[in-house]
Every structure is written in C-alpha cells, then in structure tokens.
C-alpha cells in the first residue's frame, strides 16, 4: 500500500515574505525602466533595452532585496514585446527564488476582475507573480476574485490604502476618523484574521506611502498593526523618506513594513557592483526598524 502524501502545503505569501525580510532586510527594489533611466544606462528605449535593464537588476540585487517590484506600465508601453520581457523577468525571478510584486494596480468588477486575477495570480499563468497591487476604489468587495485566488494559490495582494500623491486625499481621506482608508485597512484585517490566529503574517497587504506621516494616519483612524499584513511603503530615497521617517510614521506596525526604493538604487546602474553597493546603503538606512 503506498505511503500517504504528507508533504506540507506551500507556504503562504505572508510566510514567504516574512522569511525573506528576516533573512535580507525589509527592502523591496522597484524595477522601473523609465525611458530616462534606460538612456542613462546607455540602453535603447525598446524591448532589448528593457530586457537588459530588468535582468541586470535581478542579477545585481535579487539576493539582497526581500522582493522585487516591476512597474507593469513601463513594460506595457512596449506592447506585446514589453510584456514578453516582463514574463521573462517573472520566470527568472521565480527560478532564482526571488519574490516578485507586480505593480499593476488592477481593479474592476465581476468577470473582468476575475480575469485580472487569473492573469497575475493563477498557477501556470505567464504573468504570475508572488503578489500584485490592486485598486479598491470600485469597492473593496470588488477585489474578491483576486483575494480568493491569491489565497488558493499561496500568493498575496497589496491593496492601495493611503498613497502619498496629492490627488489621493480627495478619495482616501474622506470621512476623517472614519475614512475610506480606514475602511480598506479594516477589510484587509478581516481577511488576515486567520493568519493572526495562527501567529503568522497575513497575505493581504496594503500600500501606504512612506512619506504620509503619523499625523495623517492618526487623523484618519488607521490601526496598521491590526491589519497583520505586509505594508508596502513606496517613497524611500528619491521621494524623500528615510528609515527614521518610516519608523516614526508606522509605529507599532513598523515590523511589517516593506520599504520600496527604485530610482535611488537604479541610478547606480548599469554596473552591478554599484547597484549592489546602493542597495547595501539603502538597507543600512533601514536599521531604525530592521533590527
């Protein structure tokens, strides 16, 4: 009689991210192939330049960062050839054991949302990443197809909650202490309740700008520690936020922060040693909350 299959289930995204942050530090490096950066690297603004740029970043910093975050729009602008490069980057990252967050900011309703989920979160999809960013402004419940598929496949999501762009306040801040941002955070906390009960980091994360500040979070009634999910915090470096700023702003939730830096590191390329040195400097600057 054959032995029963007792292999453990695949780790959740929250578990994998926690392990990566513990081993490497709380840094996510954004892969943002802006035309100006491609030019600064001596690369053409085409699919060939895009591929060289992307794979160089992976090779240079993949073993230093907890995750890499390709900006999907900067691949889409090259059409099908650009998406083919993104597929190659996601595949190469997975083969190297590097977590990826597709910064796609998808959000829709019904079967369209299900199709977006299928593209970014389904096992076997050529665009499957470890996590994807989502926009909840058709209602948090509209994200349910992606939330459910992520849970089923051991992947994660990062839901836009409190961004640092000036326009964001006109939606996210509405309601004051009962703000839209607070309701999004509370919905994510509910989806992470089972992970909290198990003493683990949940897989439903939030995007919260690193430059927003503790005063805004307090005024809007956000309890980010209660979310029990990863907090993707763009704005480190070029946008002005420091590790000390993040530690002060996120308070009790700072242990769940995954700080994101893009241009401040990428401008050091194309030399891989220089990219690694820039990443090391950035990680050193996160010592205020990385232990």
Domain architecture of the chain: domains with CATH: 23-100+262-285 (3.20.20.70), 107-257 (3.20.20.70)
Residue 63 contacts residue 25 (beta carbons within 8 Å): no
Distance (Å, whole) CA 164 – CA 208: 8
Q: How far apart are CA 275 and CA 6, in angstroms?
A: 42
- The span from the CA of 50 to the CA of 271, in Å, is 16
Helix H segments across 62-175?
73-76, 79-95, 110-121, 144-153, 169-172
- pLDDT tens for the chain, 291 residues long, are 334 343 344 599 999 999 999 999 999 999 999 999 999 999 999 999 999 999 999 999 999 999 999 999 999 999 999 999 999 999 999 999 999 999 999 999 999 999 999 999 999 999 999 999 999 999 999 999 999 999 999 999 999 999 999 999 999 999 999 999 999 999 999 999 999 999 999 999 999 999 999 999 999 999 999 999 999 999 988 778 899 999 999 999 999 999 999 999 999 999 999 999 999 999 999 998 886
pLDDT at residue 291, as a whole number? 61
Q: What is the pLDDT of residue 5?
A: 40
pLDDT for residue 3 = 44
| CA-CA-CA-CA torsion sign (139, 174, 72, 284) | negative
* pLDDT at residue 239 in the model: 76
Catalytic residues: 105
CA-CA distance, 176 to 162, in Å (whole number)? 13
pLDDT at res. 1: 36
- Which strand (E) or helix (H) includes residue 248? helix 243-250
**In Å, what is the CA distance from 59 to each residue of 64, 74, 82, 161?**
10, 19, 19, 32
For residue 53 the two structure tokens come to 């740029």
Element (H, E) at 209: none
CA dist., res. 46 & res. 91, Å (int): 20
Q: What does the block give as tokens for 262?
A: 């893009």
């Amino acid at each position: 009689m054959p032995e029963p299959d007792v292999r453990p289930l695949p780790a959740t995204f929250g578990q994998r991210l926690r392990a990566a942050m513990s081993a490497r530090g709380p840094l996510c490096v954004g892969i943002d192939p802006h035309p100006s950066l491609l030019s600064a690297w001596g690369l053409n603004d085409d699919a060939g330049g895009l591929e060289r740029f992307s794979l160089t970043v992976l090779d240079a910093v993949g073993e230093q960062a907890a995750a890499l975050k390709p900006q999907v729009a900067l691949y889409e602008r090259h059409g099908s050839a650009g998406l083919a490069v993104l597929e190659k980057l996601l595949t190469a990252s997975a083969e190297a054991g590097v977590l990826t967050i597709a910064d796609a900011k998808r959000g829709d309703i019904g079967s369209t949302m299900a199709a977006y989920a299928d593209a970014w979160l389904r096992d076997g999809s050529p665009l499957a990443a470890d996590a994807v960013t989502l926009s909840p402004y058709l209602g948090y419940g509209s994200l349910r197809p992606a939330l459910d598929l992520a849970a089923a496949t051991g992947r994660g999501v990062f839901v836009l909650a409190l961004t640092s762009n000036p326009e964001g306040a006109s939606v996210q801040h509405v309601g004051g202490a009962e703000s839209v941002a607070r309701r999004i955070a509370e919905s994510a906390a509910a989806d992470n309740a089972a992970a909290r009960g198990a003493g683990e980091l949940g897989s439903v994360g939030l995007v919260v700008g690193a430059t927003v500040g503790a005063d805004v979070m307090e005024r809007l009634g956000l309890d980010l520690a209660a979310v029990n999910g990863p907090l993707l915090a763009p704005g480190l470096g070029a946008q002005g936020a420091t590790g000390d700023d993040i530690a002060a702003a996120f308070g009790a939730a700072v242990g769940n922060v995954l700080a994101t830096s893009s241009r401040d590191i990428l401008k050091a390329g194309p030399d891989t040693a220089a990219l690694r040195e820039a990443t090391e400097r950035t990680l050193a600057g996160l010592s205020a909350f990385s232990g």
